[in-house]
Every structure is written in structure tokens, then in C-alpha cells.
Structure 1
């Protein structure tokens, strides 16, 4: 999800019964090693299914699209020879591939690898939650919504090293799609491994700076190893990146302080002490990611509009950000992150709000009680079993039950992969989730509440919202007219709670002074191939 979520630890230590046992450094045999503590595990490295933070972050390290991002998040050429200017009213992209691009098994990356990836991702049989990222390619609606032949998609391999893409209309952010979404697949390995493709290190093939080692979906430790077939491998400084998932940020911070790791993801109350002891090591930047509550639209209780409004009004988002999280996260103003887009010089979210109002919350609850025919309301809220989400879950339970005494929130903590599975299978009542974007346009977030959206886990449908969403897609230019419509859609979601926004997250890392050129952009993820 893209979607997208967090966690991490250390690779030079083994955890036994909660005790960290140091092991001998492998620097001498592995070359230059970067050791990282990360909050997220990796659910998959099949690019057609990767839809949460850990997987998307790992894609950046192991895969390279037609375009890619530079060390500061700018768009640069990837497998394509150069960033091109689209033709025919900005709807045709003709991209010539570098002939020295190879997979980690030594075979060449070809145009058909990109074409097959798009077709596989959009194919309704694949059931990919990432399908919508190609919704602007000509033929998408016919294929995805009406099951037309995949050959109707506007993408083709002109020859072995030329990809031609036709859009249904100009897309102002399509360069980001080419850099962060359209990854190739190794067709031979997909055929060989089938559904197991990208599910373990042994069934994963990379065309990026690193390959993955010692990994499966249950792994809490793994390695990224320099890909010897990567065309720019000579410029990749670290030979090995040793990663460990750490859900406890206090432990991650200790690992950093004792020099067991060179980079660690941290959050929450641990930051107050770190600001005293490691202020110069803290790298904090705004993240293009918003956390929210997802409601099951098919559940009688969770789908009740007045109950959702009551719950939203019962949450003091400023207190949630400052006290429950305390990591630089900001209260959400809408489902769209602040700082991404401006309208006439002002942030798109300017004037939007998600207020805390206990009296109004209780008024909406009374309406919900009448509609549901019950005074006492029990609801189960799924949360990921991570340090941050534990804190968020406890805060939400206490806040909602305090403001609305007739409501009981039952917290159901799940491993991240299990929570995502519950969302995908629509087997939940309500849950917390976060979504981050890979391109600088709010439509990716708005798709979460669109009735036909590939990432609409709620199955919520609102005619007014859908109408505005479809008007946005008719605006083909990155201008104020488009952004005003996106603001209107965000406002409707605020009022109707297709999903209920909570907070905009912050990227907070501890980074050793010996590490250079490792940056954390608003859109996308840090790329270790630039680190030195």
C-alpha cells in the first residue's frame, strides 16, 4: 500500500529471548557493509503485487524502471536511455532501452519485460491492488473493468529495445509512474515460478543495484547484495546491506547507539531522549504518507455514516501526533498529505480540517444508535503489531471510549502481512492503515475512497465523491483547476468518512555520520545505491 507501512533492526546481532547477542562483524569478507534497522518487513518482491511500504521500499533497491529517481528524488533515466518528451499532445511515450541492462541472472532486460509487467498487473485475473497505477494507459478501463483482451492496452514492444506507451489523455505526473511504478518482470522466471515469483530470495530476480539474499516473507533479517550485472555497479558504494526488522524503536535506538547499525528507523517517545543524546544523528523529514481508519462498508455498524462521523469528531489529532506518536508526525487535514501541492500559492489542504468536538461527536452517536437500534456499540479495530500502531491503537481506544461511553473499541493487533490480507479479503470491521504515494499528485490518495479504485478496501461508494473523482481524471494538466477538484474530493471524504484520516507521518531516522548521500524524499524512499 502503496500503499504502504513501517518497522526494523540489526544484522550483526542475533535476538534470543529478547536479548541481543553480538556476532562477529563480517566487514572483512563482505566488503563495504551498511547495517540498517528498519521497521517494515517485506511482503513480496513481485512488482505486480507489492503494495505496502516494506515491499515498495525494497523495490527501490532491487528493481529499476524505465526511469528512476536521483539521490534527491528527481526523475532521471533508468533502463531507458534518457527522459523523453511525450508526443501527440503528450500522450505517446517512445522509450529506447539501454542494451547493457541485465537481470541478476545475466539475461538482458528487454522491452517485452516492461510490456508483460503492465499487462500482468492490469489483468483482472491477477487481482493486483496496484492495477490502478496504470489507469491512464489507453485501454485500461476496457481491460480492467470490462475484461477486454489485454492487447487493447496502450503499451507495446516496438522491437527488443523500444517500448511505446499510449495514454488515454495527458498525465502530468506520468514520469513518476515510469520511475516508481512501472517495473519490469523477468518473463522466464514468472513462467518458471508462477505465484511463487518474488516470494523468496530464490524466486526473485533483480535488475536494480541490489539483489536480495536470505529472505522469505516471514523473514525478519535479510541482505541486499550488490548486483554484479547492474550497469552502474561500479558507482554503488556498499557491497552488502544487512537489514533487520525492529518493531521496538527503543531497541533500534540502542542498536544505533552501540554502533551495531549505521541507520535506524525510529519513532514515538524514544525521540525525546534521542534529541538530548543524538541530536546530530537524527534525520527528520516530512513523509508523503497519511494514516487513516478504513471502514468495512458491508458491515452494518462500521458502515453507519453517523457513527463514523462521531468517531472522527472524538479524535484529537493534534494530541495523537504530539503525545501518542511524538515523532514529528502532523495531524491530518485530509486524506491528502500537506506539502505536496499548492493552489495559488497556498497548500492544497489550507482551510480543510478534521476537528475534535466531543459534543458534536455525542450528537452523531445518538443518531447512529437510533439507526442501528442499539445503545451499546462494540467495534473491532485492527492495527498492525508495530510500535507506532500499538500507540495509535491505544490512543484511539481511549479517546473514542472517553468521548463516547456507549462505544467499546476492541483492539485486534495483527502482523502487518495478516492485516493487509484481512483488508484484501474484506475480512475486517475497521482498521488502521497508511498509504504513501510514488508520484506528486493527490489522485493516488483519493483513489483509496473511489468506488472503482483498485485500493478501495472499504467498498465504500459515494456518488458525489465519484463524480468529482472522475472530473479530476478529465483534467489533463497539472494546474489549479485539477487541484481544486482534488481539494473538493478531499473535503467530501472529510465529511463522509469514506476513510477517516488521522495523521501525516514523518520520516525519522538515525544515521551515522560516516554515511553520506542517503536522503529521504517526500515522494518515494531512500535509495541505498547513492549512499557512500
Structure 2
């Protein structure tokens, strides 16, 4: 009863907020305002800690790397003057910055800002879950494993305008790292704000197209304001983007239909009705994002391999994607999203599968019961308190309990920030999570079950998996030999359930006909600086 009351109160506030925004917009003489509804809040705008969808999406709007992407996701020069050709056997990048670039506070953007960001992210004292994104930089292992100083990391500021990066080996996707992962920090502001850096609008600085206003980590509304110091501000059309977090897809759709917002992220629960009224305003594309179940390997029950196999076999992923989500999401074939890379003209996931087999599930469950010495098994499954995850959690509970009557799934819904904190602190038994890639190589997903991976929330260790993963990193070219090893790693995870893949997500947005040039790429996020 109490929870229902709280949820009702939140919805009422959001509806009122949407109406207020609409009134303000109609009265404003400035027409360059875009109003959006997003499902996720922003946990942080500190680029060294941004490891969830809302934060990654927001940093695309407020920060710019040495490289960036155009409106269609193609890599182009960002803060750098040009895309450079690496030297010394494709291991050394010498990158010159465009002249006269500044932070949103008016201070100069320098090469040292990029160097400081990389060193801070890799520094083991920082405990960044994003450290592994720089694992290919020379000296990473030594520094990250507390065996060397940060000065041994292969990145330096040659002068104020030049960044030099030395890799330990050629990396076929490193341009994507430079475009979507290596964001600068302002060292002076980090020193001033400490742990508060990037945690509120007042402690955030930007070098991208927008700054953020009226925001803190608990905000459900905020604004992106055009950054007057941005290098290409003259080509940024919208002066203000007014954002509202609306996790309920039905409410988000209503806000769009009543013209209170111009763009809204929605999920499948409302898609069938929207198609009847706003079919030509639906933007639906495949996303480079896979959802999965994370298991705590330190928990006696959640770490049992036979139990995990039984649960995986209990899940009809086709039905989950089609019925529970209904937004164009597809059944996962592995932890790697389909459509990312190919092997000899066929998708990497070709030949991989995650079968639905109730009788086989019961066989594995009996083995788990014997190993655990329990007839009845309860599992607490954390899920984010969003529309799509609510549907996923409900479906999983029904599917698993109907196949395995002696299993009880207790759903624990909580805000995404709280769920991620539980994962980071290993204070969970099982939970649903999704991961988006920022570059076109499966290694970003395969790092999740790797025992030494920075994003291994599970603490799972598997010698066969680790061996293949490490072989992948010795293949430095984007070729079939590398991708075959990646497929083998994906197959091992499917079999052993380091994490249990569920579905590949779809980008589903409602977008007003008045909005132009706003696209949703497979890799990365929509960038509002291109919208017109």
C-alpha cells in the first residue's frame, strides 16, 4: 500500500512538471528549446565514474573527446585537429588539439586535461569501473595492479596542445576509445571539488556542446544549456534542452501526445497503441546494448552453476522480447550484441543460442538441489525501477517459478543508482543489468565475466573463459581470428552462466516531426548538438 502511494505521488509531480514546462515554452520568446523525456536519471557527470546508461548518455551531450562521432555515428575529429594515423607499428598516437578551445567556465582546454583524466581513471585508488577502457595503453597492467607509478602509463602532454598516447599493442578499435571513452577532466576543478566533482550542476564543467543546469544526482528534471565556449557553438541549434525523467512509458507517451515534450524514450508496453496514432513519429532501431542477469559468485546459492543453468533454460527469451517488452528488442544469442561484427560474412553470434528447455532445466535443478542440500530455493533478484525492468522482472519471476516450482524469485525493485551501488559493493544475490558498448568490438561485453575485468560485478572466475579472453588480447587486428576467439568466449559464458544474457535492447523513441537530424546509432547515443 505504501509503495503504491509513493509511486502515485511521483507520477503526479511529473505530470505537473510536464505541464509547467509546456506553459513556459509557449510563453518564451526563445523558440530554440527542445523538451525531452528520458527513462534514466543521471548518476554522475564525472567521466571517470560514468558507468550507466543515463550518465553515458549525458556525457555525450556535455563532454567532447579528442575524437567524436557525427550524427550517424561515424568517427570524426573532436577536440583534435584531425584523425591521425598511428605510428610505430600502429601503437603511437600523436594528437594535436584545435586552437583556442575552452571549458564552460572560460578556462583553457589543454592536452593535460586528457592526460589527467586517463591517469585518474586508471589509478587503482580511484576504483573506477571504467579503468579497463584504457587497458591497452602501455603500462596499464603495472599501474592498475599497484606495481608502478602513474608516470609509467603511456600517455603524456608533449605541450599544451599535444597529447601523445603509447599503446602496448595495436588496437583495432582505439579510434572509438578516443571518441567515446577518453573524455577530459578539469584538474583545477577536481582539486577544488574533490569527490563532489561532476555530482551537481554547480560542480560540473563541460567542454562539449552543452552545460548542465538545475541538476543533482536525485533530480528528475534538469536542463542542458548551450555552452557558449564550445568550439562549434555556432552550429548548435537548440539553446536549451529541458529534460524530465519519466520511467513510466505510458506517462512518457501521454506527455508526447499532448505536446508537452518533443522527444520521449519509451518501451514496448505502449508501442502498440502509439502505432495507431503516431506511427510516423516512432523511431525504432537496434541498440548495441544487452541485458543480462548478474550473479554474486560469493553467494552460495547464486554461484551454483547447475542452478544458473536451470534458470537460464527456464527463460523463453523470444517471448520475453516479444511479449514482455514488445519494443523491437530481440532474444539474446550471447552476451555480445548481434550486428556488431561478422566472421566470414556471418554475424559473430551465428551458431550461438540460449535455448528454452523446461525438462532440461528441471534436470539441472535437481543437481543443484543435491549440491546445495536444499529442496526449496529462494533468490532475491534486484531490478531497476523502470518500466522495462519492471516488465522483465515480472516475466522472469513467472517463467522461472512455473518451470521450477521449488524456486521462489523475490523481486527487489530499486532506483538504478542504488542497484549499481549494490553491484559495486557486492551487496546483492542476483540482479538484472544492461551494458552498452562505445566501440565496435565485442571485447567490451566479454570483459564483464572476465575475472580480472574492471566491470566484473560478479567476482566469477572460470579458467577456460579467462584463457580464451587473454588469447583475444594477443590478437591485435580486427580479423576473423580475433572474432572466432570472441565467439568462443561468448559460447563459454552461455554454457557456464558467468552472467546470463537475456535480450538485446532496441532504441524506441517518439520524435516530433518538427525535430530534424536526430539519430540513434547502434554504438553510442543520440547527440542533441546535431538536432535542428
For Structure 1 versus Structure 2, the TM-score category normalised by the shorter chain is over 0.9
Aligned match of 1:55: 55
CA contact (8 A) 1:30 1:240 kept: no
Distance in 2, matches of 1:20 and 1:129, equals 34
SS of equivalent residue, structure 2 residue 473 = helix
Segments of 5+ residues of structure 1 without an aligned counterpart are: 1-12
Do the aligned partners of 1:93 and 1:164 also contact (CA within 8 Å) in 2? yes
TM-superposition CA deviations, 1:146-183 (whole Å, max 9, x none): 34100000000001110000000000000000000000
SS in 2 for 1:393: helix
CA distance in 1, matches of 2:139, 2:301: 38
Asked if 1:401 is matched to 2:401, the reply is yes
Secondary structure of 2:444's partner? helix
Q: TM-score, normalised by structure 1?
A: 0.97
Q: Is the 8 A contact 1:124 1:147 kept in 2?
A: no
Q: Is the 8 A contact 2:18 2:255 kept in 1?
A: no
What is the 5 A alignment of 1:314-333?
314-333=314-333
Change (3 A) 1:508 1:21: closer
Matched residue, 2:218: 218
What number of residue pairs does the alignment pair up? 520
Structure 2 residue aligned with 1:209: 209
Find the counterpart in structure 2 of residue 118 from structure 1: 118
Cα distance between partner residues in 2 of 1:308 and 1:341: 28
* Displacement after TM superposition at 1:250 (Å): 0.5
Distance 2:212 2:356 in 1: 45
The 5 A counterparts of 1:149-164 are: 149-164=149-164
Q: Residues 102 and 109 of structure 1 are in contact (CA less than 8 Å); yes or no, is this contact kept in structure 2?
A: yes
Residue 30 of structure 1 deviates from its aligned partner by 4.5
Looking at structure 2, the residues matched to 254 and 178 of structure 1 have their Cα atoms a distance apart, in angstroms, of: 39
Q: How far 1:203 sits from its partner (Å)? A: 0.0
Partner of 1:43: 43
Q: Is residue 13 of structure 2 the alignment partner of residue 16 of structure 1?
A: yes
Q: Which string of whole-angstrom CA distances, capped at 9 and with x for unpartnered residues, describes residues 504-524 of structure 1?
A: 000000000110000000000
Instruction: Please report how far the alpha carbon of residue 26 of structure 1 lies from its aligned counterpart in structure 2 after TM superposition.
Output: 3.3
Deviation for aligned residue 1:231:
1.2
Shift of 1:402: 0.2
Match of 2:456 in 1: 456
Structural RMSD (CA) = 1.2
Q: Superposed, which structure 2 residues align to 1:518-529 within 5 Å? A: 518-529=518-529
Aligned partners of 2:18 and 2:261 also within 8 Å: no
What is the alpha-carbon distance in structure 2 between the residues aligned to residue 102 and residue 52 of structure 1? 27
Summarize the alignment of residues 171-190 of structure 1 with structure 2, pairs less than 5 Å apart.
171-190=171-190
Structure 1 residues 421 and 236, CA gap change in structure 2 (3 angstroms): same
Q: Distance in 2 between matches of 1:404 and 1:328?
A: 28
Corresponding position of 1:192:
192
The alignment partner of 1:408 has SS state of strand
* Aligned partner of residue 25 in structure 1, secondary structure: helix
The answer to whether structure 1 residue 443 and structure 2 residue 440 are counterparts is no
Partner in structure 1 of residue 467 of structure 2: 467
Aligned equivalent of 2:422: 422
Distance 1:15 1:400 in 2: 34
How far off is 1:111 after superposition? 0.5
Q: Does 1:413 align with 2:389?
A: no
Deviation per residue, 1:31-89 (Å, 9 max, x gap): 51000000010000000000000000000000000000001000000111000000011
CA distance in 1, matches of 2:525, 2:477: 26
Structure 2 residue runs without a partner (length 5+): 1-9
| Residue aligned with 2:456, SS | coil
2:165 is aligned to 165
Mapped to 2, the partners of 1:107 and 1:207 lie a distance apart of: 10
Post-superposition offset of 1:501: 0.1
Residue 17 of structure 1 and its aligned partner are, at CA, apart by 8.3
Distance in 2, matches of 1:306 and 1:22, equals 52
**Distance in 1 between the 2:12 and 2:206 partners?**
29
Relative distance call for 1:288 and 1:21 in structure 2 (3 A) is closer
In structure 1, what is the equivalent of residue 3 of structure 2?
A: none
Is residue 2:63 matched to residue 1:66?
no
Aligned residues of 1:247 and 1:386 also touching (Cα < 8 A): yes
Partner of 1:140: 140
1:6 aligns to what? Answer: none
Rounded Cα–Cα distance in structure 1 between residues aligned with 2:145 and 2:328: 40
Q: How does 1:349-368 map to 2 (within 5 A)?
A: 349-368=349-368
1:398 alignment partner, SS class: helix
User: CA separation in 2, counterparts of 1:139 and 1:411?
Assistant: 43
Distance change >3 Å, CA 529–CA 313, structure 1 → 2: same
Distance 1:479 1:220 in 2: 44
Q: Give the alignment's TM-score, normalised by structure 2.
A: 0.97
Aligned match of 1:502: 502
SS of the aligned residue for 2:231 comes to coil
Classify the secondary structure of the residue corresponding to 1:241: strand
CA distance in 2, matches of 1:49, 1:21: 30
Q: Is the 8 A contact 2:124 2:146 kept in 1?
A: no
Once the two structures are superposed, residues 126-152 of structure 1 have per-residue CA deviations (whole angstroms, 9 ceiling, x without a partner) of: 000000000000000000023410000
Residue deviations 1:476-498 (CA, integer Å, cap 9, x gap): 00000000000000000000000
Query: Distance between the aligned counterparts of 2:337 and 2:14, measured in 1?
Result: 39
The C-alpha deviation readout for 1:343-385, integer Å capped at 9, x for no partner, is: 0000000010000000000000000000000100011000000
